[in-house]
A and B are shown apart, each in its own frame.
Chain A
Amino acid sequence: MKVLQVIDQAFRTTTEEQDDTILWLTRSMRSVGGELTVLLAGHGTNYAVLKTAQPSLTLGKWHQSQPADLPKDINQLIDSGVPVFIIEEDFIERGLQRQSIIQGVQTIARHNLPVLYEHADQVWQW
Chain B
Amino acid sequence: MKSTNEQTLTFAFMDPPFESERTVTFFRLLDAALDKGANIRVFAYEGAVSLSLSLQKAHGNSIHGRNAEEEDHPLSKDWISSLQHKAASNNLKFEWINCGLCVDERGVTDVIEGCNRGGPPDLWRYASESLNTLTIGTR
Chain A residues engaging chain B, CB cutoff 8 angstroms: 1, 3, 9, 12-13, 21-22, 25, 28-29, 32, 34, 122, 124-126
Contact = CB atoms under 8 A, between A and B. Distances in A.
State the main secondary structure of chain B at its contact with A.
Answer: mixed
A21 B46 contact: yes
Contacts of B138: 12
A122 B123 contact: no
B47 to A, nearest CB: 10
Interface string B96-139: 00000000000000000000000111011001100011010111
B135 to A, nearest CB: 4
B121 A29 contact: yes
Interface residues of B, number: 17
A113 to B, nearest CB: 18
A28 B137 CA distance: 17
B124 A32 contact: yes
A124 B12 contact: yes
**Residue among B46, B127, B132, B135 with max Cβ neighbours from chain A (10 Å):** B135
B45 A122 contact: no
A47 to B, nearest CB: 16
